[in-house]
Every structure is written in structure tokens, then in C-alpha cells.
Amino acid sequence: MAAINLSMGAAIVGAAESNEIGYPEERGEKVTSLQHHIQAIKNVSEYTGIPISDIEGIFSTGWSVELAEHLGIRPHYIDTTSVGGCSFEIHVHHALAAIASGIIDVAVVSHGEAGWSYRGAGGGGGGRGEMSPGAEMTMAYGTFGAPSQYAHAMVRHMHQYGSTVEDFAHISVVTREWAQKNPRALMFTDASQAEVKLGERTPNPFGGPITVQDVLDARIIAWPLTLFHCCLVTDHGGAVIVARPEIARSLRTNPVWIAGAGESMAHQNMLEMDDFTATSAARSSAIAYEMAGLGPQDMDMALIYDSFTVTAAITAEMLGLAPRGQGCRLWKDGDAAPGGRLPINTNGGGLSFNHSGMYGMQLLVEAYRQLSGTAEDGINGIEGKQTDSHTCVVNGTGGTLSTTGTLVLVSDD
């Protein structure tokens, strides 16, 4: 099949978050998912100088019509793809296609999820009156939520490749180290570091660096996963604007070019996961790398969905950043750490920065911050960045290691 090469057919021209991410509820303020969306869209509009009225395409996980009505706009490209945490990488892929084919010039991808404040409020998949026939055949067996399922993949990885719980724990430790460089990270600091400039933030007594032993000793959730192998549950909103190259070059913001994009899927139910040590990121990244004309060896950094340590390790292998079975080594050997050869999850990840249930937007915001040189100044060594990266592979994972979206992003020199 001969396809148009979409590479560099659009750029992410700005990224922004909602006003209060993390646990706004603890400051006596219950922020709804809709508020997170609207704040983030308003913020990214102001940041880029693109008026909300210029938005022609709207991309979100099911919210698009509600958002457009609320904003008083009438987009002519509407996408509500909702396939878990990777939806936002997939939205960017779709926006790239819509822009490169000339249907629209400007798209917004939006995320709002009060994952903590409205926890237990239900929502996930209810009301259809039908259950996946696969889920009917697993519902009897006492698994509750993502960690209870992902643990099966980690055990299989350990069996197949001889990886150990300690190997995976290094991912938590290194990711927490990155969080110490990001004041927006929930696990940025502990009470003993209260003198660190925090703005109005309350120091997090549970924050600060951790050790491998801390990870091993943390409360067990589903063996071999302890709490510190698992992502946070927080509130978050974020939005990015994707625009045609001519517009991208005319703005005051630095563009981050979409060199490659791909998406793929494996299963809905984990019961159908052929290989518990592999995800469809092998396919989505192959598509993205080919479009970009770049490979894993060309990547300066990576942003990898880390719902759990095992998600990050397996995904690193699927993206070609490490050999099969050796994903943990990137963290264990320091490559992924601050100052390392291949910085990974520079924001502190879903493990220590923020994870609202779907983490794909947090990946996009961080990719934009790093490649555009607009990370907060004064904390990172390199002004405006945690790294000096110009290329980044971003991979979202949705469901239970099910769907994936990969982006290869590059900045101007």
C-alpha cells in the first residue's frame, strides 16, 4: 500500500496543563474533569496565541462534542477515540493525518480527568448493558483493576528472561530521581526539603528520593508488584495544539515536529494477550520510525508510559531501545537517569509525577516542554530543559498492555 508520507506534515506548537494538577481536592477545591479540559485549552490558546475560535479539529477521549459546545466553537473535524492512556498519542496521529491531507489547519487535543477527586465515582464502561464476552470468562477470578492484571506480565517476563523484582525496582528509583528535578511532580520533595521553592505547594511528606529497598519493602498490591511499582492516581488536565507547518513557523512558540506517528492494538481482554512480554508498541513504533526515517538509535530521549514498572520495561524493549528481556537495564545501568545516555521519563513519570488514569497527555506535555526548551528554568542544569534532546520517541499504552500509540518528535536545531 503506497501511502502519503505524513512526516513533518504538522507540528505540536504548544502544550499546557490545567491550573491545578495532582490533588487539588486537598486544597479544598474539587476540580471537575470538564474544568481541567477548559483550563488546559484556555492555557494552550494563550500560550500559542492561537485563538480558541481558530480551532477546526477537536480530539479527546469522548469529550469532543461537549467541549466544542462549551467553548462555543463548531469544529469540522471531530475525533473521540477513547482507547485508554495511549488515546492522546493516537489523537496526534489522527490530527497529523487530518492536517497533512488539508482538511484542517489547527487541531486541539484535550485531556481532563479528575482521576483522584472523583475516584470510585464509576464511569469505566458502565451503562452499555453488555459485557465483553472475554470479560464474562474472567470476572469470576478475583482480579481488581490494572495492577492485579499487569502482575501476570511481570511474572512471565521474570520467568522468560530471568529479570528480577530488583531489576524492575530500579525503574521506580530512577523515575523518582527525575521527579526531584520537576517541582510539578507529586513526588518532588519531602518535608525535609521544605525550603525548596514550591510556590504555593505543600511539601509532600511522601515525596523525595527512594531506594531499591524502599520499593521492595513497600506495601504489596499484587505480587510481584508493590505500591512503588505502581503509578500514582491524581487529577490532571492538559492540551496541545497541532498545526500546519506554515502556521507553526509563524507563531511565537517553538514548534515540535511530528516526524513519525503510528498506532496499533493487540487485545481488549488480557486473556487474549498472546505474548505476556510483548505489546503492540513493536508495530506502532515500527510505523512511526519508518515514517520518520529514523530509528531507536537516533533518539536522544524517550517518554514511555509507566503505569507500572513492567509497562516501562516491556515498552522500552518494544521501541527497540533495549534488547528483548533487557528493558530494565536502561534504568539499572543509569542510561535512563539524569545525566545518562538516554534520558527516560524526565518529568518523573506516571510513577512519581502524575497519573490521572490515562497518562498519554502528560507524555505529550513533557515531550513539548523538553524539545521546545520550555521546561521551568533554574532547576534542570540546562536552561529550560532537563536534557539537551532534539529527538524523542513517545509511546502511550492503553488498556491492559493492549493499545499503543507512538510518536517520533523532533525539534528545530
| Contact call for residue 294 and another protein (CB under 8 A) | no
Question: Please, where are the H alpha helices in 78-164?
Answer: 87-100, 133-136, 145-161
**Phi/psi at 206 (5° precision):** -95, -5
DSSP letter, residue 344: B
Tell me which residues in 358-397 interact with another protein (CB under 8 A). Answer: none
88 three-class SS:
helix
- β-bridge pairing 391-398 and 301-304: parallel
d(C-alpha 223, C-alpha 94), whole Å: 38
**If binding is defined by CB under 8 A, does position 120 make contact with another protein?**
no
**Which residue in 122, 127, 141, 252 binds another protein (CB under 8 A)?**
141
User: Is position 138 an interface residue for another protein (rule: CB under 8 A)?
Assistant: yes
Site membership for another protein, residue 142 (CB under 8 A):
yes
Q: Which residues does residue 405 pair with via DSSP β-bridges, in sequence order? A: 263, 396
Per CB under 8 A, does 131 bind another protein?
yes
- Binding another protein by CB under 8 A: which of 144, 200, 246, 297? 144
b/e sequence 293-307, b meaning 16+ C-beta within 10 Å: ebebeebbbbbbbbb
Q: Does 32 engage in binding with another protein (CB under 8 A)?
A: no
Contact predicate 281/264, CB 8 Å = yes
Candidates 265-273, 348-356, 396-404, 405-413 — which segment interacts with another protein by CB under 8 A?
Answer: 265-273
Q: Which three cell numbers stand for residue 137?
A: 470468562
User: Minimal distance in Å, beta carbon 148 to another protein?
Assistant: 6
- Shortest Cβ 156–another protein spacing (Å): 4
Determine if 137 is a binding residue for another protein (CB under 8 A). Answer: yes
Q: Which stretch binds another protein (CB under 8 A): 149-157, 251-259, 345-353, 382-390?
A: 149-157
Q: What are phi and psi of 230, to 5 degrees?
A: -110, 150
Name the minimum Å distance from CB 76 to another protein. 36
Q: Which of 68, 155, 212, 379 binds another protein (CB under 8 A)?
A: 155
Position among 42, 156, 201, 324 found at the interface with another protein (CB under 8 A): 156
Show the CA angle centred on residue 54, arms to residues 49 and 92, nearest 5°: 85
- Residues 29, 46, 136, 383: which binds another protein (CB under 8 A)? 136
**Contact pick of 32, 80, 148, 326 for another protein (by CB under 8 A):** 148
Residues 6+ positions from 295 with CB-CB distance below 8 Å: 289, 320
Residue nearer to another protein on the CB measure, 256 or 270: 270
Q: How far is the CB of 317 from another protein (least distance, A)?
A: 17
Q: Is 166 one of the binding residues for another protein (CB under 8 A)? A: no
In 3D space, the residue among 396, 401, 36 whose CA is nearest the CA of residue 409 turns out to be 396
Residue owning grid cell 513526588: 187
Does residue 326 touch another protein according to CB under 8 A? no
The CA distances from residue 29 to 26, 35, 138, 188, 358, in Å, are 7, 12, 39, 21, 21
Residue 124 interacts with another protein (CB under 8 A): yes or no: no
Query: Looking at beta carbons only, is 48 or 400 nearer to another protein?
Result: 400
Name residues contacting another protein, limited to 206-225 (CB under 8 A).
220-225
- Choice from 28, 102, 126, 133 touching another protein (CB under 8 A): 133
| Residue from 57, 147, 262, 405 in contact with another protein (CB under 8 A) | 147
Q: List Cβ neighbours of 279 (8 Å cut-off, separation of 6 or more).
A: 266, 314, 315, 318, 397, 401, 402, 404
Return the number of the residue (217 or 377) whose C-beta is nearest another protein.
Answer: 217
271 contributes a contact to another protein by CB under 8 A: yes
Question: What three-state secondary structure class fits 198?
Answer: coil
25 φψ region: left (φ > 0), alpha (ψ -120 to 50), beta (else): alpha
Q: Which is nearer to another protein, 65 or 271 (CB)?
A: 271
User: Which residues sit at the interface with another protein, rule CB under 8 A?
Assistant: 131, 133-134, 136-144, 147-149, 151-156, 159, 220-225, 269-271, 276
